[in-house]
Structure 1
Amino acid sequence: MNHTQLHTLFVQISLMLAVACLFGYVMKRLGQPVVLGEIIGGILLGPTVFGAVFPDIHAGLFPADKTIATGIDTLLKVGMMFFMFAAGLEVNLSHFRNGKWPIIFTSLFGGVLPFALGFGMVFLFPSLWGQAAPPTDNLLLALFMGTALAISALPIIARILMEMNLLGSRVGMTIMTSAMINDLVGWVLFAFLLRNFGRETVGGNVFTALALVLGYALLILAIGRWLLRPILKSGWLFKNWPGGVLTFIALLIMLAAVGAEHIGIHAIFGAFLVGMALSQGHDPEQEKTINAIIQPFALNFFAPLYFVSVGLKANFSSQFDGPLCLLIFALACVGKIIGAGLGAKLGGMSWREAAAVGVGLNCRGAVEIILASVALEYHLIDQRIFVALVLMAFLTTLLSSALLKPLLNKGRQFS
């Protein structure tokens, strides 16, 4: 990379951080998740607005240079792994022991119904998908859309509940644990899809691929329990080299990413598993230390760059498909709110509690966008579907943030 390319690269990073800071602050003042502002900033900076109004200036700031694009893409991939590690840290399997029936029914219905709707809409509305779904890939696209509608945004949900001091309440615990279960199953399915995409048949590889993905997940969790947990519990690293904690965790993330890519799944799956492994069962003070070291680094540098890049990637004017966006958004809301809400009610919660659970789990946010970005990278979906999924993630996050707080504030007795 020569001097001119480096200069352009640094200018792009500076612009992305500037719009992330500005619009993230605006959304924070409005009481909305910062990630929404970062996406809006990217849309305004990208081809949808700035590129359409000032095409020459935009082309000068964001030239079609493969070397620069590779540099940015590498930085974003590393950032995505740290973000997913931070998301994995929010997973706490011990929550399942308390209030297991609401969690079981909520995660079951809140995962199965939206998955069924997402899967079915590919075959029920074939004209909407165009060239994105050739005959040999119809099943994989249907599985992906089911997975995309079934997951929730665990980090954003956690942030909303933490702000309301309701993370440990019955409703908060049900939302968080059900989201964790749905997301874990969803990422396993997604890893399976990436392994099989591009092959002529899927059936013969289903059990082998799923076994490999599940085996890798169990291996990472086992290493975390029997090797990493004793190292962290000893406290040696925290006492003798606090700065080395970041180096140690970065090493773990990279090794897990290498293993994930080696077996044919995306590196971010390995990073998510490492975060999940380190979130289980060690000293609360050490957990706070890890969060204090990693989360500011991941959420305030890498994450803003990544989510601004989402707006830069997509042209929301030329790639906007109204019927497709409406269908995906409607089915996402119906599937998750009704499915999770019904599950919570069957688990013994009141209607208000069940409504809060359904609305909370409807938040797709950052995790949905990462899923869509990886699918676009692998050419599993096209730009139209990508734009529709990003818009769905944006609107469901906005809807959850607007409705969840009033529901939970009126239901303080839930805790």
Structure 2
Amino acid sequence: MSTGIETTIEFQMSLLLFVALTGYLVASRINQSAVVGEILVGLIVGPSFLALITYTDFVRSLAALGAVILLFVIGLEFDLKDLLDRRYVVIGLSGVIVPWLGGFWLAEAMGYPFGSAVFVGTAMTATSIAITANVLKEMGQLSSAAARAVIGTAVIDDVLSLIALSVSIDVVAGTFTPLGVATTVFKDLAFIVVAGAVGIKVVAPLLERVDRTPLAQRYPELVFITAMAAAFFFAMGAEFIGISAIIGAFIAGISFRGVDLAHSRDLKEGAEYLHIIFASIFFVSLGILVDITALTPGIALFLLALTVVAVVTKLIGCGVPARLQGVSTRNSLIIGFGMVPRGEVAMIVALIGLNQGLIDQGVYVAIVLMSLLTTVITPIVYRNWLYRET
């Protein structure tokens, strides 16, 4: 049986890249971050308006690939010691607890059952590192102290959010135990420590030794391919443990940052080309994932309240602890707003809740749209307010 050209992988890939290109053009016209333009165009071509592209398994796979590559590239910009700051732990912990309480309270106040309220709170804890990191990179701010604080806190926040998800599922199912939580926390932290040690002490020196071989001198792309294979292996390991795959890729990037290459292609340069293609598709996919036609007046009201609570609780949960620990007011706001995007992380939490029957379609739509709105807010605030003078 023949199929239409629109169903072929080649057509879908071409269309996604043209959509991403259009996102850049839109962003330049409205003087905003490319992230905003790509998400908006994804929204237009997705089910909400034109329905040219749907969130197929192919799109989902490319988006996941884009997120992994993006965090690997971001990791290459950071030194491990920049992220090992006890202040980030305090900010990250507060940035999970306050939004969870805010989301749970709002859902209960609006009449949703306990199980739904627990999952709404859990979705509020999430932070999409990929969104803020890409915006900071785009604006040339990744080397700033505030950016290091945002990324360091977001990594901790991401791990804590996934622990919160595990706990929430157990609470709703009635299988919650303190030992289970302790086991999850230990397992996640152990992976981060072990992966970082292996990356820095084993894989990075291995890349340098490969670079000095006659084979690498003949094929200068050999080390880059090896590094990317290792990055995806780290991502796979993180996902296997129960942490987001992008955390594994980020750890790989940090581990390979100091690799000294004499004959091979620069890791950062090679990864940047992959980032240009696949990260663009990732941001477009966030718009495609949303279907605003599912909105009803009641869900629209819940969405509005949820978005306000989402922004305020991250500003309070992350910005206030940062200020109390001696961070300047401006940098505290940068950290607070940098933690606002919920992005794909909250969408994944919502999807798990929907599939398990813990939230209904209306709550799912509200969380997904809240994720989109909070994703767009940060680039706009950064570009037009907090980084306006730089």
Alpha carbons 1:90, 1:279 under 8 Å: kept: yes
5 Å matches for 1:40-189?
Answer: 40-51=40-51, 69-89=56-76, 92-96=79-83, 100=85, 103=88, 105-127=90-112, 137=115, 142=118, 144-162=119-137, 164-189=139-164
Give the counterpart letter for 2:7 in structure 1.
Answer: T
- Tell me which of 300, 315, 332 is aligned to 1:337: 315
C-alpha distance in 2 between matches for 1:385 and 1:237: 56
C-alpha distance in 1 between matches for 2:122 and 2:78: 19
Q: Find the residue that maps to 2:291 and give its secondary structure.
A: coil
Alpha carbons 1:91, 1:177 under 8 Å: kept: no
Give the counterpart letter for 2:160 in structure 1.
Answer: V
Give the counterpart letter for 1:202 in structure 2.
Answer: F
**Displacement of 1:152:** 3.4
**Displacement of 1:101:** 7.0
Correspondence 1:296 to 2:296: no
Correspondence 1:214 to 2:192: no
Alpha carbons 1:43, 1:312 under 8 Å: kept: yes
Give the 3 Å change call, closer, same or farther, for CA 316–94 of structure 1 in structure 2: same
Correspondence 1:275 to 2:250: yes
Residue 55 of structure 1 aligns with which residue? Answer: none
Alpha carbons 1:47, 1:312 under 8 Å: kept: yes
- Tell me which of 236, 239, 245 is aligned to 2:223: 245
Structure 2 spans left out of the alignment, 5+ residues: none
Give the 3 Å change call, closer, same or farther, for CA 220–346 of structure 1 in structure 2: same
**Displacement of 1:148:** 3.5
Give the counterpart letter for 1:115 in structure 2.
Answer: W
Give the counterpart letter for 1:334 in structure 2.
Answer: V
- Shifted more, 329-338 versus 381-390: the winner is 381-390
Give the 3 Å change call, closer, same or farther, for CA 291–6 of structure 1 in structure 2: farther
C-alpha distance in 1 between matches for 2:246 and 2:150: 23
Alpha carbons 2:127, 2:345 under 8 Å: kept: no
Correspondence 1:236 to 2:221: no
C-alpha distance in 1 between matches for 2:143 and 2:81: 12
Give the 3 Å change call, closer, same or farther, for CA 256–409 of structure 1 in structure 2: closer
What are the Cα deviations for residues 23-66 of structure 1, in whole angstroms up to 9, with x where unaligned? 23211443322222222222212222114xxxxxx5xx87xxxx
Give the 3 Å change call, closer, same or farther, for CA 371–352 of structure 1 in structure 2: closer
- Shifted more, 224-233 versus 181-190: the winner is 181-190
C-alpha distance in 2 between matches for 1:188 and 1:90: 27
Give the counterpart letter for 2:44 in structure 1.
Answer: L
Percent of residue pairs identical: 25
Q: How many residues align?
A: 378
Give the 3 Å change call, closer, same or farther, for CA 291–184 of structure 1 in structure 2: farther
Give the 3 Å change call, closer, same or farther, for CA 110–95 of structure 1 in structure 2: same
C-alpha distance in 2 between matches for 1:272 and 1:343: 24
Alpha carbons 1:319, 1:384 under 8 Å: kept: yes
Q: Find the residue that maps to 1:4 and give its secondary structure.
A: coil
Q: Find the residue that maps to 2:3 and give its secondary structure.
A: helix
Indicate the RMSD between aligned Cα atoms, in angstroms.
3.9
C-alpha distance in 1 between matches for 2:314 and 2:4: 45
Tell me the TM-score normalized by structure 2: 0.78
Give the 3 Å change call, closer, same or farther, for CA 6–145 of structure 1 in structure 2: same
Correspondence 1:201 to 2:175: yes
Alpha carbons 2:124, 2:346 under 8 Å: kept: no
C-alpha distance in 1 between matches for 2:83 and 2:71: 21
What are the Cα deviations for residues 42-96 of structure 1, in whole angstroms up to 9, with x where unaligned? 2212222114xxxxxx5xx87xxxxx94444444444443344445545543124
Give the counterpart letter for 1:181 in structure 2.
Answer: I
Give the counterpart letter for 2:3 in structure 1.
Answer: T
Alpha carbons 2:76, 2:256 under 8 Å: kept: no
**Displacement of 1:346:** 1.0
**Displacement of 1:293:** 1.5
